[in-house]
Copies of this chain bind each other. A is one copy, B any other.
Amino acid sequence: MTNPGTEHAFNREAQYTAKRRAVIRSASGAFRRRGYHNTSMVLIAQSLGLSKAALYYYVKSKEEILYECHIMVYDAMDAAVKSVRGKGTTGLDELQLLYGAFAHLLTRDGLGLLADVDSLKGAFQITVLKRRGSIERSVTRIVKQGMSDGSIKQADARVTVFFLMGALNWLNVWYEPGGRLSGEDIADAFVAQMSQGVAA
């Protein structure tokens, strides 16, 4: 190694961030299944084979975990928005790509939108609401584009978007991984229904 000591330092750091991510992901699943306030730090710790105190080596507070859970999903959604930008020939086309990507994130990829924004305080809440607003605006932009190019029927764009986002958010409540329907099935069905619902 040209830079002695670096490789181990990196491993340490990498393991730390990996374990931190594991905490967030594990908590995210528990929050989705049982709700934020019905999930204790002790339970999160146990499900990772740790003590509660060890958890605080990786996170500053329970609220921070919730915050990171939200951010994790919104990062993935932002990436999806970016990846479909300009890919569709029409607004409807692009909306289909994005909506399908969202549905995949929330089923196949094991991510889950959490409703519990109210439990975040101050800057945490503001940031999360901003991120959600940003996603909604991206979708609205595509919907409006579709209305301009004639692929999507005229309607109140905001209501249309809320309608569609609502269907996605409800996934958390009823979708169970490994159930009768795969993430693909659901994504396909959602895209089909969304598509027909907004088409001109």
Contact = CB atoms under 8 A, between A and B. Distances in A.
Contacts of A116: 35
A156 B197 contact: no
A5 interface: no
A115 to B, nearest CB: 5
Contacts of A171: 162, 166
Interface stretch (A51-59, A78-86, A187-195): A187-195
A198 B34 CA distance: 32
- Size category of the A interface is 35 or more
A189 B118 contact: no
A14 B44 CA distance: 47
B162 A34 contact: no
A155 B193 contact: yes
